[in-house]
């Protein structure tokens, strides 16, 4: 049984706790390498600020994930909505891996994104060696996308495996 969690919009006061939970080599092994603490904080501040003013058709959704019982920050969920799709991502404290939180979070994020009528598909990109994330996506109805069928994805890095699914 997965512990109960709380999802709340990312807030300024979450940043130090997110750093404690997520600023680790294990989390960043497959997503560009470990950033400095200053770059980590800057990334979260940019997430809070939202897309640049010129990106009028883009929306950034960011949530902090906490254990309900202790209020401890254990992760982060995000989606970047653009061009009729949502790019989803999830980051969790390695101490919480394998406990079902990422699965529960992805289900919750899917339900949240279903409210946005402009979204017709969900997308996620993972490093080819990130089997944990790829397996999670496959368990939740994502299918591997063919390279020739890829839309513009802002989270894609050359060589990534890309997965997609419809909005249920």
The confidence score (pLDDT) of residue 158 equals: 84
**Helix H or strand E segment including 60:** strand 59-67
Q: What is the mean pLDDT of each run of 10 residues along the chain (168 residues)?
A: 90 97 95 93 94 91 97 98 96 96 97 95 96 97 89 88 90
The DSSP secondary-structure symbol of 24 reads S
The DSSP secondary-structure symbol of 46 reads H
Beta-carbon neighbour count of residue 147 at 10 Å?
A: 8
Query: Which residues 6+ apart lie within 8 Å of 87 measured at CB?
Result: 79, 80, 122, 123, 124, 125, 153, 154, 155
CB distance 16 to 41 below 8 Å: no
The confidence score (pLDDT) of residue 157 equals: 85
The confidence score (pLDDT) of residue 137 equals: 98
Nearest to 74 by CA among 22, 136, 24, 137: 22
**Helix H or strand E segment including 134:** helix 131-139
């Amino acid at each position: 049984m997965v512990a109960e969690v709380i999802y709340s919009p990312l807030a300024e006061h979450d940043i130090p706790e997110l750093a404690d939970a997520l600023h680790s080599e294990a989390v960043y092994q497959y997503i560009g390498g470990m950033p400095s603490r200053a770059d980590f904080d800057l990334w979260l501040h940019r997430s809070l600020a939202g897309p640049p003013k010129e990106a009028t058709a883009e929306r950034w959704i960011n949530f902090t994930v906490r254990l309900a019982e202790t209020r401890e920050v254990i992760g982060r969920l995000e989606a970047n909505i653009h061009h009729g799709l949502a790019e989803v991502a999830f980051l969790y404290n390695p101490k919480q891996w394998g406990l079902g939180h990422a699965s529960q979070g992805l289900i919750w994020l899917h339900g949240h994104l279903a409210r946005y009528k402009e979204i017709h598909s969900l997308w996620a990109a993972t490093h080819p060696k990130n089997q944990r994330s790829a397996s999670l996506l496959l368990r939740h109805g994502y299918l591997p996308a063919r390279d020739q069928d890829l839309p513009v994805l802002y989270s894609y890095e050359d060589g990534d495996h890309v997965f997609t699914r419809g909005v249920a």
